[in-house]
Amino acid sequence: ELANRLHDSVLQTLVVMESEAGNEKRVRSLARKQTRELRLMVQGSEPIGADSLGAAIEGAAASVSELFGVEVSTVCRSDTEASESLLVLVSAAKEAMVNAARHSGADTIHVYSISEDGLVAIFVRDDGVGFDVDTVDRGRGLDHSIRERVEALGGDVCIESEPGEGTEVKVSLQKKEVSSR
């Protein structure tokens, strides 16, 4: 889990900082942001606003938008109180947002979440370049940061994409204890 969290925050920020090395103001801003995130991680704290599924998704979307300069729109159809497993689900969805921001070429990433009848599902969609799901090198992002995290919780991951048609990643978790707001 620590490796996943470091991948999701520190390593992604360092990649962006390297690509924008000539923009001192942006690099300093990213360094300050990453310092705050690392402090929270070391203290064992979650980011502020992670008290509900919707707030956690909003925080993840804002982070991706700030880091990559892409618009991330969110819709939370029904909300629920955050739990450790739901925050892991949000982390997997955030990785899908990052992948879309880095690889899709889309101007906007759409995130839709729902918590109903004991099922929590988060959909991350883009209308970018897409890819062949069967032949892509899934690497750390798709397999470790998304699939392994969600499946370790007993959840499901569905990735649908076609070259030229965009991508949709759905992460979901069936929980008997989930209550909607």
Instruction: Please list, in sequence order, all residues whose beta carbon lies within 8 angstroms of the beta carbon of residue 106, skipping any fewer than 6 positions away.
Output: 70, 100, 126, 127, 128, 166
List per-block mean pLDDT (blocks of 10 residues) for the chain, which spans 181 residues: 70 80 82 73 57 89 86 90 90 93 93 93 96 73 79 94 94 68 49
* Phi and psi, residue 37, nearest 5°: -65, -40
Instruction: Please list, in sequence order, all residues whose beta carbon lies within 8 angstroms of the beta carbon of residue 121, skipping any fewer than 6 positions away.
Output: 113, 114, 170, 171, 172, 173
The whole-number pLDDT of residue 13 equals: 79
The whole-number pLDDT of residue 120 equals: 96
DSSP structure class, residue 74:
E
Cα torsion 25, 28, 30, 36 to 10°: value is -140
Give the separation between CA 29 and CA 117, rounded to whole angstroms.
41
The whole-number pLDDT of residue 40 equals: 67
Length of the chain: 181
Task: Please state the pTM of the whole predicted model.
Answer: 0.74
The whole-number pLDDT of residue 9 equals: 72
Degrees to nearest 5, angle at CA 169 with 164 and 174: 160
Residue 164 is encoded by which pair of tokens? 């030229």
The letter for the amino acid at 179 is S
The whole-number pLDDT of residue 29 equals: 77
The whole-number pLDDT of residue 49 equals: 45
Measured from the Cβ of residue 129, the count of other Cβ atoms closer than 10 Å reads: 15
The whole-number pLDDT of residue 141 equals: 59
Measured from the Cβ of residue 128, the count of other Cβ atoms closer than 10 Å reads: 20
